[in-house]
Each structure stands twice: as structure tokens, then as C-alpha cells.
Amino acid sequence: MGVRVTATAPGVVKLFGEHAVVYGKPAIAMAIDKGVRVTVERQGGDSLLVVARDLVVRGVAIRVTGGSIEGSVIDGPQLAKLASYALTALRIVSEGYGGDLKGIKVTIESQLPIGAGLATSAAVSVATTVAYAKLIGVELSREEVAKLSHKVELTVQGSASPMDTATSSLGGVVYIKPGVELRRISAPPRLPVVIGHVERELTTGELVRRVKELYSRHPKVVDKIMDSIEVVVNEALAALGKGDYQLLGELMNINQGLLEALGVSNHRIANMVYMARRAGALGAKLSGGGGGGAVIALAPGVEDKVSVAMRLAGGEVISTDINDQGVVVQH
């Protein structure tokens, strides 16, 4: 039983298969070397305090005493959402493994832009789960962390794919077919990708509902799109294993076209995608739910040019690489 534990968990980009994964199709995601750090410590007293902050906004503090919640939100309703993931993770671990939440303080520090589609909430869920479990003397496997963290996201959001929490927990590049298979896969030690992001117009939940409505109106058409995305994912699996950047880029471009057919892209995403390709990217596509958010471009040898092009298209750019470690505890 410790008095202070810090855990870091990486953010996640979706390389292939987003939205189709909701319909049981496979997807591939990658942990990135930007993420979230969560510190859980015992301070004494009766309150449970969650403090969240990032590099842009000043933060939020939520205090729970008994059954009541007192919060002071400063410049950041989005950060208040992160605090809710941390609270839920604490409660789920406490209910499953014991541990008194009185006198606990949680501090969340994020390197990830909130709402950019880089799995910030998953990283918070994973890091909080690991840190609090370690604080109360419980050793969890990465697979157990992934399951518990997915339960956190389900509790907060109502529905969630296990892809983000699994990838943040395991690290590296992860292949998932819901309910069937979840594993790390072979990939080049470095993927030369550039990530750009713009403000989102719709949440992932709203976009998932839109796709579902499209499916209800055109089931045969949308079925074919989902089947095509599955073929893309499986071909990408082989291309990653061989380190075939040319083929990966082509598959990214095809995947983007299929996502556009589902109606989850928009003009701001398209601007970044086409500017990135014109600057030399082998492939570029949205990453995540869409409606804004993240765009990922495969840009071997031209990362700087593609970064400039994405900025000219109105995006903010993140330089990143694969995180191969997944969640890590630092005492």
C-alpha cells in the first residue's frame, strides 16, 4: 500500500477501420508518444479530489465528500469530462478490489488536445485504473487494465469500442476484431506519420448515430462499405508486417474515401487530407470519429512539408511516433 503513484498512458490514433469496428469489423490502432499522466495520492481527510489540467487551459477541480460533488470548473468543461472518467475508474477499481476513496487526490496532466480524437478519455481511464490499483497494492495485467478501462468508458459514455483502452494499455500497434480477437501486431519500429487536428463539429456518439441512421435507410449499400473497410484493414495488416509504406498509403486513401461515403468527413478534414497528399504524403485520412478532429498522414521523408501543408489547411499539428510501452507506472 503506497501513498503516491503516478502512471502515464499514451493517446491513440486509428490507422484503419474506425466506424466499421462498431459493426463488428476489424480495426487497427496505434499508441502514440503523447499522452496523459495521472498521479493518485493519499492526503487524508474525508474528501476525494480530482484535479485536471492540460497545457492550454487552466483546469478543473472536483471534490467529492460523502455523496455530494463540489466542483470548480475553470476554462474547461472538457476537462470536467476527464475528471468524470477518473472518478469512474476509481469507483470501479474500488468496488472490484477494495480500497477506501476517502482522502484520495487525483491529478490529471494531459499532453493531448482534448476533443481531437486522440483517445484522451481512454488514456485517463487507463492511467487512473493502473495508478489507483497500484496504490492499494493490486497488480493488474495489461489485459485486465484494458477490460476495466473499457468498463469505465462504457459507464461514462453509454457505449464505447474497446479499441482505444486496449491500445493505450498495451502500446504499439493493435489489431482488434470486437469479441473475437485483440492483439499487438508487427509493424515498423517507426511509422513516419504526421497528425493534424481541427475543432470537432460533432461528437463521436453523434457521428455513430448518423452512420446508424444511414445504415437504416440504405442497409445494402452501407453493408458493402463496411465489408470494403474490412478488406482494407486486412490488407493493411499484411502491409504493416512488411513495412510497405506505398501500399499502406494507398489503403489509407481508400479508407478515407469509404469514410467520406459514410458521411463522417467534412470540408476541414478534406482540406488537411488533400493538402497533405499534395505535399507528398503517401496517404492521409481522418482518424477517429470524424466531424473534425484528427487527420493522420503517412509521410516518409516529407514530414516537415506535410506539417506545413496541414497548418496551411487550418490544422494544428502534433509531431509524434509509436509508443511501444503502453501504460507505465512511475513511483
Contact 310, 298 (CB under 8 A): no
User: Do strands 4-16 and 68-74 pair parallel, antiparallel, or not at all (unpaired)?
Assistant: unpaired
Q: Is 75 a catalytic residue?
A: no
The whole-number pLDDT of residue 48 equals 81
pLDDT (tens digit per residue) in 265-312:
999 999 999 999 999 999 999 998 888 889 999 999 999 999 999 999
Q: Which of 54, 164, 304, 324 is catalytic?
A: 164
The whole-number pLDDT of residue 248 equals 97
What gap in Å lies between CA 256 and CA 295, rounded to an integer?
Answer: 10
Mean pLDDT for the chain? 88
Cα dist. 198→45, 111, 230, 268, 317 in Å?
42, 16, 27, 7, 9
What gap in Å lies between CA 315 and CA 82, rounded to an integer?
Answer: 23
What gap in Å lies between CA 170 and CA 42, rounded to an integer?
Answer: 27
| Whether the predicted pLDDT of 110 surpasses 80 | yes
| Whether the predicted pLDDT of 112 surpasses 90 | no
**What is the grid cell recorded at 286?**
481522418
Mean pLDDT score, 213-235 = 97
pLDDT category at 139 given cuts 50, 70, 90 is: very high
pLDDT category at 180 given cuts 50, 70, 90 is: confident
- pLDDT more than 90, % of the chain: 63
The whole-number pLDDT of residue 62 equals 52
What gap in Å lies between CA 59 and CA 40, rounded to an integer?
Answer: 17
Mean pLDDT score, 17-40 = 93
Query: Domains (ranges, CATH) in the chain?
Result: 4-185 (3.30.230.10), 193-319 (3.30.70.890)
pLDDT category at 151 given cuts 50, 70, 90 is: very high
Prediction pTM value = 0.88
| Whether the predicted pLDDT of 238 surpasses 70 | yes
